[in-house]
Protein backbone atom coordinates (compact mmCIF):
# COMPACT_ATOMS: atom_id res chain seq x y z
CA UNK A 1 0.00 0.00 0.00
CA UNK A 2 1.39 3.34 -0.89
CA UNK A 3 2.55 5.51 1.98
CA UNK A 4 0.03 8.26 1.17
CA UNK A 5 -2.90 5.90 1.32
CA UNK A 6 -1.60 4.49 4.61
CA UNK A 7 -1.27 7.99 6.14
CA UNK A 8 -4.80 8.85 5.09
CA UNK A 9 -6.10 5.66 6.72
CA UNK A 10 -4.34 6.43 10.07
CA UNK A 11 -5.67 10.03 10.12
CA UNK A 12 -9.24 8.81 9.65
CA UNK A 13 -8.92 6.27 12.50
CA UNK A 14 -7.43 8.94 14.83
CA UNK A 15 -10.27 11.35 14.08
CA UNK A 16 -12.90 8.73 14.82
CA UNK A 17 -11.42 7.81 18.21
CA UNK A 18 -10.44 11.38 19.31
CA UNK A 19 -13.78 13.05 18.47
CA UNK A 20 -15.68 11.73 21.52
CA UNK A 21 -12.90 12.89 23.84
CA UNK A 22 -12.89 16.36 22.31
CA UNK A 23 -16.64 16.49 22.45
CA UNK A 24 -16.55 15.47 26.10
CA UNK A 25 -14.03 18.18 26.91
CA UNK A 26 -16.22 20.77 25.17
CA UNK A 27 -19.32 19.64 27.10
CA UNK A 28 -17.41 19.69 30.38
CA UNK A 29 -16.10 23.18 29.60
CA UNK A 30 -19.64 24.43 28.88
CA UNK A 31 -20.91 22.86 32.09
CA UNK A 32 -18.14 24.50 34.12
CA UNK A 33 -18.84 28.01 32.75
CA UNK A 34 -21.99 28.78 34.88
CA UNK A 35 -20.09 27.69 37.98
CA UNK A 36 -17.43 30.35 37.30
CA UNK A 37 -20.10 33.00 36.82
CA UNK A 38 -21.81 32.08 40.06
CA UNK A 39 -18.49 32.22 41.82
CA UNK A 40 -18.21 35.91 40.91
CA UNK A 41 -21.63 36.63 42.39
CA UNK A 42 -21.36 34.94 45.76
CA UNK A 43 -19.20 34.86 48.80
CA UNK A 44 -17.79 31.76 50.47
CA UNK A 45 -17.32 28.23 49.18
CA UNK A 46 -17.85 28.91 45.46
CA UNK A 47 -15.39 31.78 45.45
CA UNK A 48 -12.84 29.54 47.15
CA UNK A 49 -13.32 26.86 44.50
CA UNK A 50 -12.51 29.30 41.75
CA UNK A 51 -9.50 30.51 43.73
CA UNK A 52 -8.19 26.96 43.95
CA UNK A 53 -7.84 26.88 40.18
CA UNK A 54 -5.29 29.68 40.17
CA UNK A 55 -7.48 32.74 40.07
CA UNK A 56 -7.41 33.41 43.82
CA UNK A 57 -6.15 36.98 43.88
CA UNK A 58 -8.07 38.13 40.85
CA UNK A 59 -11.40 36.56 41.73
CA UNK A 60 -11.41 37.50 45.40
CA UNK A 61 -10.26 41.05 44.69
CA UNK A 62 -12.92 41.48 42.02
CA UNK A 63 -15.58 40.13 44.36
CA UNK A 64 -14.56 42.46 47.22
CA UNK A 65 -14.56 45.47 44.92
CA UNK A 66 -18.01 44.67 43.61
CA UNK A 67 -19.33 43.92 47.08
CA UNK A 68 -17.92 47.19 48.49
CA UNK A 69 -19.37 49.24 45.67
CA UNK A 70 -22.72 47.54 46.12
CA UNK A 71 -22.67 48.26 49.86
CA UNK A 72 -21.85 51.93 49.23
CA UNK A 73 -24.70 52.20 46.74
CA UNK A 74 -27.03 50.49 49.21
CA UNK A 75 -25.99 52.91 51.95
CA UNK A 76 -26.59 55.91 49.70
CA UNK A 77 -30.03 54.59 48.73
CA UNK A 78 -30.88 53.87 52.38
CA UNK A 79 -29.74 57.35 53.47
CA UNK A 80 -31.77 58.88 50.67
CA UNK A 81 -34.84 56.93 51.72
CA UNK A 82 -34.33 57.96 55.35
CA UNK A 83 -33.98 61.59 54.32
CA UNK A 84 -37.21 61.39 52.38
CA UNK A 85 -38.96 59.56 55.22
CA UNK A 86 -37.72 61.88 58.01
CA UNK A 87 -40.67 63.69 59.60
CA UNK A 88 -40.79 67.46 59.34
CA UNK A 89 -40.46 69.10 62.77
CA UNK A 90 -43.82 70.47 63.80
CA UNK A 91 -43.90 73.84 65.53
CA UNK A 92 -46.27 73.46 68.45
CA UNK A 93 -47.64 76.80 69.69
CA UNK A 94 -47.32 77.58 73.38
CA UNK A 95 -50.25 76.47 75.47
CA UNK A 96 -52.42 79.51 76.26
CA UNK A 97 -52.52 80.57 79.88
CA UNK A 98 -55.73 81.23 81.77
CA UNK A 99 -55.05 84.93 81.30
CA UNK A 100 -54.76 84.51 77.54
CA UNK A 101 -58.01 82.56 77.43
CA UNK A 102 -59.67 85.40 79.35
CA UNK A 103 -58.45 87.87 76.71
CA UNK A 104 -56.08 89.70 79.05
CA UNK A 105 -53.30 89.57 76.45
CA UNK A 106 -55.19 92.24 74.50
CA UNK A 107 -54.63 94.79 77.27
CA UNK A 108 -52.06 97.46 76.43
CA UNK A 109 -50.26 99.66 78.95
CA UNK A 110 -47.94 102.69 78.62
CA UNK A 111 -44.98 100.75 80.03
CA UNK A 112 -45.35 97.93 77.49
CA UNK A 113 -45.18 95.28 80.21
CA UNK A 114 -44.96 91.63 79.21
CA UNK A 115 -47.25 90.53 82.03
CA UNK A 116 -50.96 90.18 81.44
CA UNK A 117 -51.55 91.41 84.98
CA UNK A 118 -49.64 94.04 86.96
CA UNK A 119 -50.36 95.92 90.15
CA UNK A 120 -48.16 98.44 91.95
CA UNK A 121 -49.08 99.89 95.33
CA UNK A 122 -47.53 102.21 97.88
CA UNK A 123 -47.10 99.91 100.87
CA UNK A 124 -47.33 102.68 103.46
CA UNK A 125 -50.51 104.33 102.16
CA UNK A 126 -52.08 101.54 100.04
CA UNK A 127 -52.23 104.04 97.18
CA UNK A 128 -52.52 102.39 93.78
CA UNK A 129 -49.77 103.51 91.41
CA UNK A 130 -50.27 101.14 88.48
CA UNK A 131 -53.17 98.87 87.58
CA UNK A 132 -53.44 96.30 84.80
CA UNK A 133 -56.20 93.70 85.13
CA UNK A 134 -55.67 93.63 88.89
CA UNK A 135 -59.14 92.34 89.80
CA UNK A 136 -59.03 89.13 87.74
CA UNK A 137 -58.43 85.96 89.76
CA UNK A 138 -55.77 83.79 88.08
CA UNK A 139 -53.59 80.83 89.07
CA UNK A 140 -50.83 82.10 91.33
CA UNK A 141 -48.47 79.08 91.13
CA UNK A 142 -45.74 79.06 93.81
CA UNK A 143 -46.69 82.44 95.21
CA UNK A 144 -48.97 80.12 97.19
CA UNK A 145 -45.94 79.34 99.36
CA UNK A 146 -46.14 82.76 101.00
CA UNK A 147 -49.45 81.75 102.58
CA UNK A 148 -47.96 78.35 103.41
CA UNK A 149 -45.26 80.14 105.39
CA UNK A 150 -47.75 82.30 107.29
CA UNK A 151 -49.85 79.30 108.33
CA UNK A 152 -46.76 77.34 109.45
CA UNK A 153 -45.45 80.25 111.51
CA UNK A 154 -48.88 81.02 113.01
CA UNK A 155 -49.22 77.40 114.18
CA UNK A 156 -46.21 77.79 116.48
CA UNK A 157 -45.10 74.24 115.73
CA UNK A 158 -41.60 73.17 116.72
CA UNK A 159 -39.40 74.59 113.97
CA UNK A 160 -36.60 72.16 114.89
CA UNK A 161 -38.79 69.09 114.43
CA UNK A 162 -37.45 66.77 111.74
CA UNK A 163 -39.82 66.19 108.81
CA UNK A 164 -39.41 63.37 106.30
CA UNK A 165 -40.26 63.53 102.62
CA UNK A 166 -42.65 60.73 101.68
CA UNK A 167 -44.27 59.50 98.46
CA UNK A 168 -47.22 61.76 99.32
CA UNK A 169 -44.98 64.76 98.60
CA UNK A 170 -44.09 63.60 95.08
CA UNK A 171 -45.77 65.51 92.26
CA UNK A 172 -47.36 62.80 90.12
CA UNK A 173 -49.64 65.25 88.30
CA UNK A 174 -47.00 67.46 86.64
CA UNK A 175 -43.94 65.31 87.38
CA UNK A 176 -42.05 68.39 88.54
CA UNK A 177 -38.53 67.79 89.74
CA UNK A 178 -37.14 68.02 93.23
CA UNK A 179 -33.74 67.64 94.82
CA UNK A 180 -35.30 66.14 97.92
CA UNK A 181 -35.61 62.39 97.53
CA UNK A 182 -38.25 60.32 99.24
CA UNK A 183 -36.84 59.58 102.69
CA UNK A 184 -34.94 62.88 102.94
CA UNK A 185 -35.13 64.45 106.39
CA UNK A 186 -34.89 68.13 107.27
CA UNK A 187 -36.02 70.36 110.10
CA UNK A 188 -39.22 72.32 109.66
CA UNK A 189 -37.21 75.55 109.50
CA UNK A 190 -35.00 74.18 106.69
CA UNK A 191 -38.07 73.02 104.79
CA UNK A 192 -39.56 76.51 105.09
CA UNK A 193 -36.30 78.15 104.08
CA UNK A 194 -35.89 76.32 100.77
CA UNK A 195 -39.63 76.50 100.04
CA UNK A 196 -39.53 80.31 100.19
CA UNK A 197 -36.09 80.92 98.69
CA UNK A 198 -35.97 78.22 96.00
CA UNK A 199 -39.64 77.26 95.70
CA UNK A 200 -38.93 73.63 96.70
CA UNK A 201 -42.25 71.85 96.17
CA UNK A 202 -41.65 68.73 98.23
CA UNK A 203 -40.62 70.87 101.17
CA UNK A 204 -43.84 72.89 100.92
CA UNK A 205 -45.85 69.69 100.65
CA UNK A 206 -44.20 68.22 103.74
CA UNK A 207 -44.95 71.43 105.67
CA UNK A 208 -48.65 71.18 104.84
CA UNK A 209 -48.86 67.43 105.43
CA UNK A 210 -47.23 67.67 108.89
CA UNK A 211 -49.77 70.23 110.11
CA UNK A 212 -52.13 69.08 112.91
CA UNK A 213 -55.03 67.41 111.16
CA UNK A 214 -53.04 66.89 107.95
CA UNK A 215 -53.05 68.70 104.62
CA UNK A 216 -56.82 69.18 104.42
CA UNK A 217 -56.79 71.04 107.72
CA UNK A 218 -53.77 73.05 106.59
CA UNK A 219 -55.54 74.15 103.39
CA UNK A 220 -58.61 75.09 105.38
CA UNK A 221 -56.45 77.29 107.57
CA UNK A 222 -54.85 78.88 104.48
CA UNK A 223 -58.26 80.00 103.22
CA UNK A 224 -59.26 81.28 106.66
CA UNK A 225 -56.06 83.32 106.83
CA UNK A 226 -56.78 84.74 103.38
CA UNK A 227 -60.18 86.02 104.55
CA UNK A 228 -58.59 87.55 107.64
CA UNK A 229 -56.19 89.53 105.45
CA UNK A 230 -59.03 90.68 103.20
CA UNK A 231 -58.23 88.44 100.18
CA UNK A 232 -61.75 88.05 98.79
CA UNK A 233 -60.77 86.70 95.33
CA UNK A 234 -58.51 83.94 96.61
CA UNK A 235 -58.84 80.16 96.87
CA UNK A 236 -56.21 77.65 98.04
CA UNK A 237 -56.33 73.89 97.45
CA UNK A 238 -52.74 72.86 98.25
CA UNK A 239 -49.61 74.12 99.98
CA UNK A 240 -47.32 74.14 96.93
CA UNK A 241 -49.13 76.05 94.18
CA UNK A 242 -48.79 73.19 91.68
CA UNK A 243 -52.56 73.13 91.26
CA UNK A 244 -54.08 75.67 88.87
CA UNK A 245 -57.04 75.86 91.28
CA UNK A 246 -54.94 78.02 93.61
CA UNK A 247 -56.16 81.39 92.35
CA UNK A 248 -55.96 85.01 93.45
CA UNK A 249 -56.23 88.51 92.01
CA UNK A 250 -53.25 90.84 91.93
CA UNK A 251 -54.93 93.11 94.45
CA UNK A 252 -55.30 90.17 96.84
CA UNK A 253 -51.66 89.21 96.40
CA UNK A 254 -50.58 92.76 97.22
CA UNK A 255 -52.43 92.34 100.52
CA UNK A 256 -50.65 89.02 101.08
CA UNK A 257 -47.24 90.63 100.48
CA UNK A 258 -48.02 93.40 102.98
CA UNK A 259 -49.14 90.83 105.58
CA UNK A 260 -46.14 88.55 105.00
CA UNK A 261 -43.78 91.50 105.37
CA UNK A 262 -44.70 91.56 109.06
CA UNK A 263 -42.96 88.17 109.52
CA UNK A 264 -39.18 88.69 109.84
CA UNK A 265 -38.47 85.03 108.98
CA UNK A 266 -40.40 85.33 105.71
CA UNK A 267 -38.46 88.49 104.82
CA UNK A 268 -35.15 86.80 105.57
CA UNK A 269 -35.76 83.43 103.95
CA UNK A 270 -37.36 84.79 100.79
CA UNK A 271 -34.47 87.20 100.12
CA UNK A 272 -31.54 84.89 100.91
CA UNK A 273 -29.44 84.11 97.86
CA UNK A 274 -28.02 80.71 98.91
CA UNK A 275 -28.64 78.14 101.60
CA UNK A 276 -27.15 74.72 102.36
CA UNK A 277 -29.16 71.84 103.82
CA UNK A 278 -28.11 68.28 104.63
CA UNK A 279 -30.89 65.78 104.01
CA UNK A 280 -29.60 62.33 104.89
CA UNK A 281 -26.09 63.60 105.67
CA UNK A 282 -25.25 64.93 102.19
CA UNK A 283 -25.03 68.67 101.62
CA UNK A 284 -27.26 70.37 99.05
CA UNK A 285 -26.85 74.02 98.12
CA UNK A 286 -29.99 75.86 97.08
CA UNK A 287 -30.12 79.23 95.35
CA UNK A 288 -32.72 81.96 95.04
CA UNK A 289 -35.29 81.72 92.26
CA UNK A 290 -35.18 85.53 91.80
CA UNK A 291 -31.99 86.97 90.40
CA UNK A 292 -32.95 90.53 91.37
CA UNK A 293 -32.16 89.88 95.05
CA UNK A 294 -28.48 89.57 94.04
CA UNK A 295 -28.54 92.93 92.27
CA UNK A 296 -27.07 95.69 94.50
CA UNK A 297 -29.20 98.29 92.71
CA UNK A 298 -32.32 96.75 94.21
CA UNK A 299 -33.45 97.05 97.83
CA UNK A 300 -35.83 94.09 98.11
CA UNK A 301 -37.49 93.33 101.43
CA UNK A 302 -39.56 90.30 100.36
CA UNK A 303 -40.17 88.35 97.16
CA UNK A 304 -41.65 85.18 95.72
CA UNK A 305 -41.69 83.76 92.21
CA UNK A 306 -43.99 81.20 90.64
CA UNK A 307 -44.64 79.28 87.46
CA UNK A 308 -47.00 76.68 86.06
CA UNK A 309 -48.18 76.58 82.45
CA UNK A 310 -51.68 77.80 83.31
CA UNK A 311 -50.33 80.76 85.29
CA UNK A 312 -47.35 81.89 83.22
CA UNK A 313 -44.41 83.52 85.01
CA UNK A 314 -45.39 85.25 88.25
CA UNK A 315 -43.61 87.52 90.71
CA UNK A 316 -44.49 89.47 93.85
CA UNK A 317 -42.07 91.81 95.62
CA UNK A 318 -41.73 94.44 98.26
CA UNK A 319 -38.96 96.90 97.45
CA UNK A 320 -37.88 100.41 98.29
CA UNK A 321 -37.71 102.75 95.31
CA UNK A 322 -36.44 106.26 95.93
CA UNK A 323 -36.89 105.51 99.64
CA UNK A 324 -40.55 104.61 99.16
CA UNK A 325 -41.81 101.08 100.08
CA UNK A 326 -43.63 99.67 97.08
CA UNK A 327 -45.46 96.38 96.52
CA UNK A 328 -45.32 94.98 92.99
CA UNK A 329 -47.33 92.08 91.56
CA UNK A 330 -46.82 90.58 88.09
CA UNK A 331 -48.92 87.64 86.89
CA UNK A 332 -48.99 85.69 83.66
CA UNK A 333 -45.78 87.08 82.23
CA UNK A 334 -44.44 85.74 78.94
CA UNK A 335 -40.80 84.69 78.78
CA UNK A 336 -38.53 83.36 81.53
CA UNK A 337 -36.96 86.74 82.39
CA UNK A 338 -39.86 88.98 81.41
CA UNK A 339 -41.31 89.32 84.92
CA UNK A 340 -37.93 90.60 86.13
CA UNK A 341 -37.82 92.93 83.15
CA UNK A 342 -41.28 94.23 84.02
CA UNK A 343 -40.12 94.94 87.57
CA UNK A 344 -37.22 96.91 86.12
CA UNK A 345 -39.55 98.92 83.87
CA UNK A 346 -41.79 99.81 86.79
CA UNK A 347 -38.80 100.77 88.92
CA UNK A 348 -37.41 103.05 86.21
CA UNK A 349 -40.84 104.56 85.66
CA UNK A 350 -41.23 105.33 89.36
CA UNK A 351 -37.75 106.85 89.49
CA UNK A 352 -38.37 109.15 86.53
CA UNK A 353 -42.04 110.03 86.96
CA UNK A 354 -42.60 112.75 89.57
CA UNK A 355 -46.34 112.82 88.86
CA UNK A 356 -46.61 109.19 89.89
CA UNK A 357 -44.79 109.77 93.12
CA UNK A 358 -47.08 112.70 93.89
CA UNK A 359 -50.20 110.57 93.72
CA UNK A 360 -51.54 109.96 90.21
CA UNK A 361 -51.67 106.42 88.90
CA UNK A 362 -51.90 104.63 85.58
CA UNK A 363 -54.62 102.21 84.57
CA UNK A 364 -54.02 99.99 81.54
CA UNK A 365 -56.71 99.85 78.86
CA UNK A 366 -57.97 96.92 76.83
CA UNK A 367 -57.89 97.30 73.04
Mark whether 126 is an active-site residue: no
Q: Do 198 and 297 fall into the same domain?
A: yes
CA 198 to chain centre: 17
Determine, yes or no, domain membership for 93. Answer: no
In contact, 101 and 316? CB cutoff 8 Å: no
Distances in Å between the Cα of 307 and the Cα atoms of 187, 242, 274, 310, 316 are: 26, 8, 20, 8, 12
In a domain, 308, yes or no: yes
CA atoms within 13 A on the CB side of 283: 4
Q: What is the pLDDT of residue 60?
A: 37
- Do 294 and 203 fall within a single domain? yes
**From the first residue on, what is the mean pLDDT of each consecutive set of 10 residues in the chain (367 residues)?**
47 44 42 42 39 40 45 50 52 82 95 97 97 98 98 98 98 92 97 98 98 98 98 98 98 98 98 96 93 96 97 98 97 93 97 61 64
- In this prediction, residue 179 carries a pLDDT of 94
Separation between Cα atoms, residue 203 and residue 239, nearest integer Å: 10
What is the count of structural domains for the chain? 2
Same domain, 41 and 158: no
Range of the structural domain that residue 75 is part of:
3-81
Do 129 and 240 reside in the same domain of the chain? yes
User: Are 15 and 157 found together in one domain?
Assistant: no
59/121 same-domain check: no
Which of 145, 225, 255, 304 is catalytic? The answer is 145
**What is the number of helices (H) and of strands (E) in the chain?**
12, 14
Please report the pLDDT score of residue 90 as a whole number: 59
Domain co-membership, 70 together with 105:
no
75, 135: one domain: no
Q: Where are the alpha helices (DSSP H) in the chain?
A: 3-41, 45-50, 56-85, 98-101, 144-154, 188-198, 201-209, 214-229, 250-260, 264-271, 338-352, 354-357
Would you mind telling me the total number of residues written for the chain in this entry?
Answer: 367
Q: Let me know if 367 is a catalytic residue.
A: no
Q: Is 77 in the same domain as 163?
A: no
Q: What is the pLDDT of residue 332?
A: 97
User: In this structure, are 125 and 16 located in the same domain?
Assistant: no
Active-site option among 134, 199, 249, 258: 199
Of 81, 110, 137, the domain-final residue: 81
DSSP states of 144-159? HHHHHHHHHHHTT--T
Active-site residue identified among 142, 198, 205, 239: 142
| Positive or negative torsion for Cα 276, 279, 284, 286 | negative
pLDDT value for 106: 95
Indicate if 355 belongs to the active site.
no
Assess whether 106 and 58 both reside in one domain.
Answer: no
Amino acid sequence: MPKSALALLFSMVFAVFSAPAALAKEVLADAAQPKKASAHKSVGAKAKIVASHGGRKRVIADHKRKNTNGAAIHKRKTAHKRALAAPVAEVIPAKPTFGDMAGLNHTHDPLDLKSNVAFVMDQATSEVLFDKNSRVALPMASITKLMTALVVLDSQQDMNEILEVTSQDVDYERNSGSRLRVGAQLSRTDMLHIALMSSENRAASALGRSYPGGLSNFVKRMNEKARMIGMTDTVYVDSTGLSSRNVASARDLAKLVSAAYNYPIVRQYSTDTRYIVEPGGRALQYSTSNGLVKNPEWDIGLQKTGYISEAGRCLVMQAKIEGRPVVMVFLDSKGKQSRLGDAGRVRKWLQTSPSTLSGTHVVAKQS
